[in-house]
Each structure stands twice: as structure tokens, then as C-alpha cells.
Structure 1
């Protein structure tokens, strides 16, 4: 508004000055025309100019003199003579003077009357112009501070109303802790970025609450497993040392302790693998791996375990299937999938492992006739710390990390993993690896 006020003031000042100058030029033309139209012998020149002044009373000052400055006609209402400019003024010369407290716009020009050149001085009051300019100036000087005050007050009010939802969100967020993640931020119905921000944060809190609940459950489960393991080993050792026992009894005790140590070692391996998956800067060495041979060796190692449970472990492995990967991680992937199939398949059940390679890539299937997975849990089984079996059975419940680790291994190899299951036919896990690029350079197996 300040810029608009300055522009308006100077534009109006220039426009008013230009308007008065045009008016004076028109009066000059009328004077020359009036005098030159009269017969030469009719009246003296001063008399004709006087008659013109009577016809045009709007002139406040009107004077005519010869080129030497001798007055032919004196100014009306004049208190003093106005000096002639230093220039010839063949074209109109304009100036501003003050006469008796009045501001006047003055036109001075050499004109031709009755064939002779004379100096014409013509002026008109412009007090009303400056009155208008003062009114414009004063109006802006009053309105700008008022507008500034209103703008600041309105801005503060709007800012307060705009930030109020954020203040409510902040106050609510301050009451949320890791021990109570059930609270949610208030979502204002504004349809703007603040509403989207609140919604996004609530979604984040929901995911965080789910993760914390799973982590809490996982911690409880792991604590239970470790405590059970230590209790079994301690009890077995205490009973064994109370009195002399036979070699067979000592062997049985050692077998029990060995089994518990193996279970604990497997649990720690899972935890280490999960920690490795969280590493930001992983440097996993990839090389050309004979995947069909690795799969065959791993399945052979599991056949003895399957026979103990009276299960049938069958394979259909296409030979000479190679993929670019890490040998240790791929062996662990196979172990996790086959171990789960054996674990959740009852006696007399069947497990089928197949491997095939085509133009679309290499596909691994692990199919079992086990207890299956509920449809609402299929999408969660690859989440870390998630257990389908909530009873924490050490033989079947697992650590809740196996499938999460399997998914991480598959992703490291740029592949994909999916699961299908129902309570009747069991579960099917499918792993898809990308097509092997012929441009890959060979390196030793890792």
C-alpha cells in the first residue's frame, strides 16, 4: 500500500500539472486568434487584450510586453512583475510561482500579434490541485498505519488459528511415550497439509505400536526360551552331580544339555542374522553359485530328520541351475524354508522341494502338507518377531526371525518371496531369483 500511495501521489501530481499546462496553452491559442482576427484600426492592442481578459476571466495573471520587456498590458491581480526566463521561449516555458500566498502555474512564450512578436505571460492558480494532493497524501498517511495495525492483528489471529491444531498435536505428542503408544494425535478436518501431517504421524504411531508390541512379545518369548534352556541345563547338571551315576545316565544328561545348547546357539544365530540385516552398509560378496547342488545337499541333510518324524521329503531339482549370490546366505535360506516345512508338518506328512530355471529366472518352491497359516496372518509372517504360534512352544514356535531373515536374504539377491497357505492343503513358499546375466564375471564361491 505504501508503494501504491507513492505511485498514486506522483502520478496525480504529474497529471494535474499536465492538465493545467494544456489549459494555459489553449488560452494562448485563443488569445492569439482573438487579437489577430480584429481589424488593425479598430482598437489598440492593449484594449483588445483587456477585452479578451473580460471574455476569459479564468486567467488570474495575464500580461503582454514587447521583446525589450516594456509592458503593453499589465497582469490582472498582479503584485509584482514576473522575470522573463533566460531562454527565448519560442515554445511554452512553464514554471511555478507563489503570488499573494497562492501557487500559480505560469506559461511564458513569445507570440505573434498583428505581425509583431510579443512576450506573453499567462498564469492560473493551482491551489486546488495541491489541496487534492494533500488530501491524497493525508489519506495514505492515515490509512497505511491503520492498515498495518489491522494486518498485524489479523495476521496474529490467523497465525494463532492456523497453529492451534499444531499446538494440540504437540501437547498430545508430549503425552505419548514408549510405554503408552495407544494415543493418537488429533486430526483437524482442514483438508490441508496439517491434516495430512497428523494422519501420517498417526499411521507412524500405529506402525510403531505394532513393532513395540511385537518386540515386547519377542523379548518375553526369548526370555522364556533362554530361561527354560538354562533351567533344563542347570537341573540336569545338578541331578547328575548329586550322586554317582552310570555312563549311560551321564551320556543321557550330556545329550540333554547338548540339545539345549544347540537350541540356544540357533537362537543366537538368528539374532545375529537379524542384526546383520539391519546394517546400513552391507558388503555382501556375490559370486556364481551352483544353486541346484546347494539345494540337493541341504535337502539330503534334512532327510534323516524327516524320517524320524515319518515324513516324506521329496525333491525335483533341475540340474545346472546357477545364480549370482552368496553361498552362506543361500544355504541359510534353504535351511529356514525346509526347516519350517518339517517343523509344521505332522507325522506321515509330505514335503516337496522343487527348483526350475527358465527365461523368467530361477524359481524355488517349498511345499508342505502341514497345519497351514490363517489367511489374515499370511502378510505378517515375514515381519520380524511375528509368531503364528503364540503358545511359545520351543519345538514349533521358533524365534519369530526365520522368515524375516529369509525375506532379507532374498531381497539381497534382488529376488522375491511369497507364501500361500490354507488349513487343508498346507503351505507353499515360492522364491523367484532374477535371470542370470551372461556378462557377470566369475569369482570364487563365498
Structure 2
């Protein structure tokens, strides 16, 4: 058994606790039994001394013969002005000054370890100042007997309790051993193994559920990573094939200058596509909720949005699309300004690309009920209702046969979703085919932002 094992630690704790409880109980038991015995002796001697005092008060000192006391093995003496005026024949106490003027009982075991002597003193003021001293020898030392019994029984009880404790701990640790064995079987190639949750409703069952949930999330994460790798490989294959083909054809034989120029332009175009895709993927992986907040600053969303609009006006004009701002209020948000710029840019880019010619794009940015709200609405081709849940997946594009002329890798909305989640925001997308798409984004505007805005 390893000293650092859980079983050993629990067993040590159990033994320590049981030992403390057992010996504490033994001490209290010994104390109460001893007090009970002493109290009984004290009461007997008190009533005997009180009877003597009653006779003294009634001037019957001469009638006191100590007959009762002698029959009960008690030696007695009556003291007046620190002198013995009457005593029984067997009264042998000499150092009376140690006891008189103290209304209490004294015990000593000077004569033997197996017996004790009891000395009781009753002081009185009437009919004169005096004391009655009773001395009982050879009382059985029952407290000593109890101490010896407990001294023998305590180790036996402790051994029995330790044995029971080991069995109980083994039984309690069975589910933990099962969890350990199952955990050892789980690896990158075997993530379907689950821990049994048939045990009673307790912390171990909760641990099993938590472990199974962790394995499930790990499995889903690996599946997402594999899909991501497959998607990246698939998306990179096309531009690489184009580049490779153009180079191969150019090297086969001498060609006209114009041919080489066209080939280089195609290679350059495909290279830029790959560059943009890599940049987009880096955006998806660079930031996490653990490191994003250190990049936050107080951003003027109005200025960021206006800068983005200015950049995309040229592309909108090409399709005779007008960008109209319906509601525009001063809004501040603690955020990563670069990511917010990418968010607005991607949404504007999508709205323009998927809008028909001679249409409009409507923008709104305002604050309401402690929330910052951004709405972008286009009059584009729309998205089928059944495909809406998928459009934020990486590399997903709605039926490319419907929009072959629109370039992209299907990362735009995935990046937007990721940015919103990093800023603890929410996004809702509504769309209708041949009518258009509306994207509504909300962020929490905390008190700090509101105070800065008001100032």
C-alpha cells in the first residue's frame, strides 16, 4: 500500500479520528464513573456527619457513641476550637489542620493502590464553632479497576474498528477503482468508453457523469479538429492544383510573353486566396476567452463602423447598392478593436456579395435596455431555412451552384460567430429566399461603458 495513496490517507484519517474519539470517550466515561462513586460516598458520609451535628445541637454530645459509623467502617472525630473533644477508637488522623475549615471530601490511596481512604469534613457554627471529621479506610478503588479495564479494551476496540474501517474503505473505493480502470482504457483511438453510472445518487455518481461528459467533449473536440484539418486540406488542394498546373504548363515549352503573364496572374490570384484563408484561420485560432480580455480597450463602435462603410462603398457602388443607416447612436464597448473591425467588415462584405443589383443594405447601431444592438439587413438572395443552422460552420457555403461567381471559403460567418462569442455577445440570423437576410448582434453594455458615454 503506497503511503501517498487515497486509501492510505483515508485510513490514517480514520484511525486518527477513531483513536481520538475512543480515548476521549474512555476519559469521559472514567471521569463520570469516578465522580458518581465519589458523590455516593460523599452523600453517605454527609448524612452521617449531619446526624452527629443534630445531636450536638440538641446537647446530646454525651449520647454520641459512633456505633453507626463503626458498623460502616467509619472513624469519626468532633473538633472544637481546633481540638478533638470526642473521637472513635479507630480515628488515627493526626494532621487535622490540613482538613478542618474545608467543607469537602478528600481521597487518598496512601495505604494501597487497590483501595482509597475517604476523609469528609463538615464545619458548623452552632452551638459552637467546630468540625466533624469522618475517615473511611479501605474503600475499593473502583475507578482504578475501570481504568485497567479500559486500558485493556481500548486497543481491542481500536483493532476491531480499524479492521471494519479497512473493509468499509475498500467498499467505498470500488467505484473509484472502476473509474481509474476505465480511464486507463481511454486514449486517442478509444474515446467511446464510458464509466458506469449505476451506483447510488452520490458524489461518485456525479464524478462519473462529469468524467463521461469530459470524454464526450474531448471526443467532439477531436472530431471538430479532424473535420477542420480535412476542410483545410480540401480548400488548399484547389489553389495548389491550379498553381502546380500553371507552373507545369509554363515549363513544358517556350511560350509567348502574354501566356507567362496570364499564368503568373493566375498563380498570384490563387496565392492571395490561400493567404486570405490562412489569415482567416489564424483569426479563428489566435484568441481564446482566456487571453482575449487583455487586448480589450474602450472602442467607439460608431467610428469603427463608419470606417468599414467607407471601405466597402466602392464595392457597393459597383452593383449600384446603397448603404443606409436607419438608427445610429453613440455606442462604446470594451472590446478588441481589430476583431470588431473584422466583424463589421465580414458582415458588410457578405451583404454586398449576396445582394442583387440596385438593392439596399440597412444598418442600425444603438443601445437599448443595457445592451448594444447592431443590425444589418440586405435585400439579397436569402438562405433556405433548413440551412440556417449550418451557415456559421467553418468552410460551409450555401449551394455554390446558386452563386458560382461569388468567391470565398465559407469562413466569414464562422469568424463573426467566434468574435461575438469572445465578447460574450449573441447573434441571431433570419433569412428568406429571394427576400434577404437580417443579422442581429447584441453585446452587454456594462455600467462602466454607460458612465464613459454619459461623461
- Which bin holds the TM-score, normalised by the shorter protein? 0.7 to 0.9
Give 2:324's aligned residue.
316
Structure 1 CA distance for aligned equivalents of residues 171 and 331 of structure 2: 61
Asked whether 1:353 is paired with 2:361, we answer: yes
Asked whether 1:124 is paired with 2:139, we answer: no
Query: CA offset at residue 219 of structure 1?
Result: 0.8
Asked whether 1:268 is paired with 2:315, we answer: no
- The 3-state SS of whatever aligns with 2:295 is coil
Out of 376, 379, 386, the position equivalent to 1:374 is 386
Give 1:17's aligned residue.
38
Out of 23, 35, 44, the position equivalent to 1:2 is 23
Pairing 1:194-213 to 2, within 5 Å after superposition: 194-213=204-223
Give 1:89's aligned residue.
100
Query: CA offset at residue 267 of structure 1?
Result: 0.7
Tell me if the contact between 1:372 and 1:424 (Cα under 8 Å) persists in the aligned partners: no
Give 2:266's aligned residue.
256
Give 1:191's aligned residue.
201
Structure 2 CA distance for aligned equivalents of residues 65 and 82 of structure 1: 12
Out of 298, 314, 317, the position equivalent to 2:312 is 298
Deviations 1:266-320 (A, max 9, x none): 111112222332481653666541624632541531554xx5xxxx855433487
Tell me if the contact between 1:181 and 1:205 (Cα under 8 Å) persists in the aligned partners: yes
Q: How many residues align?
A: 417
Pairing 1:171-250 to 2, within 5 Å after superposition: 171-250=181-260
Q: CA distance change for structure 1 residues 57 and 16 in 2, over 3 Å: closer, same or farther?
A: same
Asked whether 1:149 is paired with 2:159, we answer: yes
Give 2:150's aligned residue.
140
Structure 2 CA distance for aligned equivalents of residues 81 and 204 of structure 1: 85
Greater mean alpha carbon deviation, residues 411-420 or residues 209-218: 411-420
Structure 1 CA distance for aligned equivalents of residues 98 and 327 of structure 2: 111
Out of 149, 174, 180, the position equivalent to 1:170 is 180
- The 3-state SS of whatever aligns with 2:314 is helix
Tell me if the contact between 1:106 and 1:123 (Cα under 8 Å) persists in the aligned partners: yes
- Structure 1: gaps of 5 or more residues: none
Deviations 1:161-213 (A, max 9, x none): 33322222222222222333232333353323332232223223222222221
CA RMSD of aligned residues (A): 4.6
TM-score normalised by L of structure 2: 0.72
Q: CA distance change for structure 1 residues 123 and 426 in 2, over 3 Å: closer, same or farther?
A: same
Structure 1 CA distance for aligned equivalents of residues 287 and 158 of structure 2: 59
Query: CA offset at residue 10 of structure 1?
Result: 2.8
Structure 2 CA distance for aligned equivalents of residues 108 and 437 of structure 1: 85
Give 2:119's aligned residue.
106
Q: CA distance change for structure 1 residues 151 and 327 in 2, over 3 Å: closer, same or farther?
A: closer
Structure 1 CA distance for aligned equivalents of residues 116 and 424 of structure 2: 89
Give 1:60's aligned residue.
73
- The 3-state SS of whatever aligns with 1:353 is strand
Structure 2 CA distance for aligned equivalents of residues 109 and 362 of structure 1: 93
Give 1:333's aligned residue.
343
Structure 1 CA distance for aligned equivalents of residues 399 and 185 of structure 2: 31
Structure 1 CA distance for aligned equivalents of residues 420 and 168 of structure 2: 53
Q: CA distance change for structure 1 residues 374 and 5 in 2, over 3 Å: closer, same or farther?
A: same
- Structure 2: gaps of 5 or more residues: 1-21
